[in-house]
Amino acid sequence: MPYIKNQDRKKFESAIEEIVNQLNISGITGFYPVGELNYIISKIVNDTLDRQGVRYQTINSVVGVLDCCKMELYRRVASPYEDEKIKENGDVY
């Protein structure tokens, strides 16, 4: 669940902003640098596993976090986008 308290978010904001700025600088117009985004996420996961220790519980927790991030992105961004496209272009079903 990405909805942590506002005071807990503050410690990450400047680092996240810098990463997003760097992704936008290095990206080609109209193309988001997905390889770089994948690298950043993978690096965070790998460093977390290194520090926490590679064991089933940690791996399972990290996989769960990634899965929930994916589902939340779909719920909040992709699904409303698809609904708009259905209105624009008509439904398939």
pLDDT, tens only, 48-69:
999 999 999 999 999 999 999 9
Cα separation, 10 vs 13, in Å, equals 5
pLDDT given for residue 25 in this prediction? 73
Cα separation, 76 vs 84, in Å, equals 13
- Asked if residue 45 lies in contact with residue 58, where contact means CB atoms within 8 angstroms, the answer is no
Residue whose C-alpha is closest to residue 24's, from 40, 41, 36, 10: 36
Domain boundaries, the chain: 6-89
pLDDT, tens only, 63-88:
999 999 999 999 999 999 999 999 99
pTM for the full predicted model: 0.80
Cα separation, 26 vs 51, in Å, equals 29
